[in-house]
Amino acid sequence: MLPIRHCALALACLSALSSPAFAQTSATPAADAGYVPGGSIPKLQGDITIDGKLDDAAWQGALVQEIAYDIQPGDNTPAPVKTIVRIGYTADALYVSFHALDPDPASIRAHLRDRDAMFNDDWVGVFLDTFNDHRRGYELVTNPLGVQGDIIRDESNTDNQEDSSWDGKWESAGRITAEGYDVEMRIPFSTLRFPVGSGEQHWGISLFRNWPRNKRHQLTSHLVPRSSNCFECEWGKYTGLAGARQGRNLEIVPTLVVGKEQTRSVAGSAWHSEKTSIEPGVDVSWAPSPAMTLNATINPDFSQVETDQLQLTVNNSFALFYQEKRPFFLEGADYFNSPFNVLYTRQIASPDYGLRVTGRSGGNTYGAIIARDAEPQVLVPGTQGSGFSALNEKVDVAVGRYRYDFNTHLSVGAIGTFRRGDDYDNSVAGLDARWQQGSHTASAQFLHSQSEYPADIVSIYANDLGNNAKPTGDAWRVAYNFGNRNWGFTTWHEDIDPGFRADLGFIGRVGYDKSLVGGEHTWYRDDSAFNKINLYADWDITHSYDGQLLERELEAQVTVQGPMQSNIRLHGLTRVAYWNGKLFDEHYSDINANFRPTGNLQLGAYLQAGTLIDQGANKTGQRTMIELFGNANIGRGIAVDWDIIRQRMRRDGGTAFEATVVNAGGSWQFDPRQRLRLTLQGSEVLRNQALYPQAVNATARDWAAQLVYSYKVNPRTALYAGASYGAFMDDEHLNMFGNTRSVFVKLSYGWQP
């Protein structure tokens, strides 16, 4: 088990919007007398050069706005620094400038970073709800050096409202001045999706500034009540933009990936060289209207440029989840979200081709994907474990998602995923609904699946779920959440039949039902060093499909926000857990803390100790775990990061196992386009063979390194060149030896005719 510790991007610090609040009466002072949030965005007259200098005459005709309120840690109090924003447009783009004053410009935090890696800096941004329906928004932000970050916001997704994997194509520039810093943005309308028509648009817009000092101040152009459960609902209302057009909105991106890999299985043996891989491909994106996008790809490049974060697998029976990083699946990924994770696109491992359509019109939101996968895999689920297994055949894939929004409060949707091969089939279809008004949110989903599996897949789940080659089953979930300024309450129930399968999703446990009820209370102490305290507790119970108790759990935690951007969490848990035919008592406590002693250094630690199951021995023991993580900036362009986890299990008078995982790396950003990144990973597992009833490896070690150079003109036009090397040892290979090495070059070019 790995602790959940890192804020999801810097914007997750808007926890006041998702965690109920309390304490004193909210104060909502007026901004400067001349400031009016919202208004009509005018058409600009003249040219603007995006260089970070606010000297173009055309800015004089723009709508002037102010980022006037501190919403975190403040409670709609006057912003501690002044920010003037100008907004205007031409026929093909939205223009936004920020004049960000600072009483101490030397304290401005600004670093050269890769895209989406600057959220700990000072930054300014414009958030756009282009359909003005409080559902989906764009968040485009820039630090004082012009480094970009962009996010898709999905207000209906309570698990992950902000997804930074989307990369829009837009321009920005910034510069630090004697008064603070200035930023200019040009956002082509071809990058955005908005209602069809040449008339006046109606958008929701939030103008935002991140001012990180002793505390991280989140500043907005509009009021945000702490009782709000919908951040997007609070954005200012803007009109104008008549005649905005996307042009041809056609982009063709040819790609070429050349690579060579060598492997060997025994130390000292000759390297076995794979044939040099030369893979050309092409992606095509076309938006026939501002509300619809069509994508096609032939022999697509679905390579990952950088390695996945290494995770701790010891004493864990369930498959690990890794984020999607492949461009074709990232754009419009939020269109396919639903309460159950029935679409996990990394299950489409190696497609020969892919087609996709996404769009919105009125209250209708839709998406579809068609692909042919040459190397499919199946996430084989169970009641107490899961794992991936390869299918030795090509499969056809189809996905469809539709949602209808009756109004800003109520929506209903349908989703279907289908995968078929020669002797394999999996089909899932279902309905879902969501209602949100004020402090109340309710959601529900029902799914049905039908499947057919070859014998080798059936044999994996046969002992746990029965020897059935054609399983069928249902899955359903209902949830209710309440949240206001002071209090929060959540309850949900889900039930998944043993025959339910969602092979294109990530549902690793089936054949169970689970219920949870929880609540929280938050105290705000706006003028104190420790300004926010949250107390949360929940109780849940899980049974298998045959009535066996799998888990009964009670947990509680208190979280405190304080100086030096510190966050401290104390957590405790006690439960009865079923494993391998027996019920065990488990309990542990932990502490998680991180802070920034300076603007260039973050330090964090996680400590856990308690009684937990050693799954390999079917016994409990005393487990301790420590994790040390952090990052540091050296000058403008160099950054290092680390995450070290060490776990130990003691029982029966000895140490049963010790496990260590290290993820570390560094990057040197020469300028906004060029970057050199080094990644180092390693793991070690040591077991006392005398304390296990079956044969286990006494020692297993591995490590890997990857070096990647990148030159990015924009998200579509880029060059990558890299090399990697890996080594391992275990009881059969007593000496560490290199077993894999590779080199690659990747080229892509975004052409817009």
CA torsion, ordered 157, 536, 648, 664, to nearest 10 deg: 50
What pLDDT shows up at residue 17? 34
Cis peptide, bond prior to residue 29, ω within 30 of zero: no
Q: Which residue has the tokens 């040449």?
A: 198
| Per-residue model confidence as pLDDT tens digits over 212-225 | 999 999 999 999 99
What pLDDT shows up at residue 10? 36
Residue 608 neighbours by CB under 8 Å, 6+ apart: 3, 588, 589, 590, 623, 624, 625, 626
What pLDDT shows up at residue 7? 36
What pLDDT shows up at residue 276? 86
Report yes or no: 130 and 203 within 8 Å, Cβ to Cβ: yes
Q: Is the pLDDT of residue 34 over 70?
A: no
Of residues 699, 667, 701, 657, the one with CA closest to residue 681: 701
Task: Give me the residues paired with residue 294 across strands.
Answer: 286, 357
Written as one letter, the residue type at 647 is: Q
**Using 50, 70 and 90 to split pLDDT, how confident is the model at 35?**
low
pLDDT average, residue stretch 385-413: 90
Angle at the Cα of 182 from the Cα atoms of 181 and 183, rounded to 5 degrees: 130
| Per-residue model confidence as pLDDT tens digits over 162-172 | 888 888 899 99
What sign has the CA pseudo-torsion 228, 233, 238, 241? positive
What pLDDT shows up at residue 229? 86
One DSSP character per residue, 170-186 reads -EEEEEE-SSEEEEEEE
What pLDDT shows up at residue 381? 86
Report yes or no: 621 and 609 within 8 Å, Cβ to Cβ: no
Residue 50 neighbours by CB under 8 Å, 6+ apart: 171, 172, 173, 184, 185, 186
Of residues 218, 256, 285, 262, the one with CA closest to residue 67: 218
Q: Is the pLDDT of residue 314 over 50?
A: no
**Residue 51 has what DSSP assignment?**
S
What pLDDT shows up at residue 32? 54
Q: Which tops the pLDDT comparison, 115 or 753?
A: 115
- The gap between the terminal CA atoms of the chain, to the nearest Å, is 50
Report yes or no: 578 and 592 within 8 Å, Cβ to Cβ: no
pLDDT average, residue stretch 425-450: 96
Q: What are the φ and ψ backbone dihedral angles of 687, each rounded to 5 degrees?
A: -125, 145
Percent of the chain beyond pLDDT 90?
69
- Which H helix or E strand runs over 327? helix 327-330
- On average, the pLDDT of the chain sits at 89
What pLDDT shows up at residue 347? 85
Q: Is the pLDDT of residue 30 over 50?
A: no
Q: Which residue has the tokens 């998406």?
A: 367
Of residues 134, 135, 142, the one with CA closest to residue 98: 142
Angle at the Cα of 669 from the Cα atoms of 666 and 670, rounded to 5 degrees: 135
Q: Which residue has the tokens 């002037």?
A: 64
What pLDDT shows up at residue 249? 81
Give the range among 5-9, 124-128, 436-440, 657-661 with minimum mean pLDDT.
5-9
Half-sphere exposure of 569 (CA within 13 A, CB side): 22
Of residues 423, 415, 422, the one with CA closest to residue 502: 415
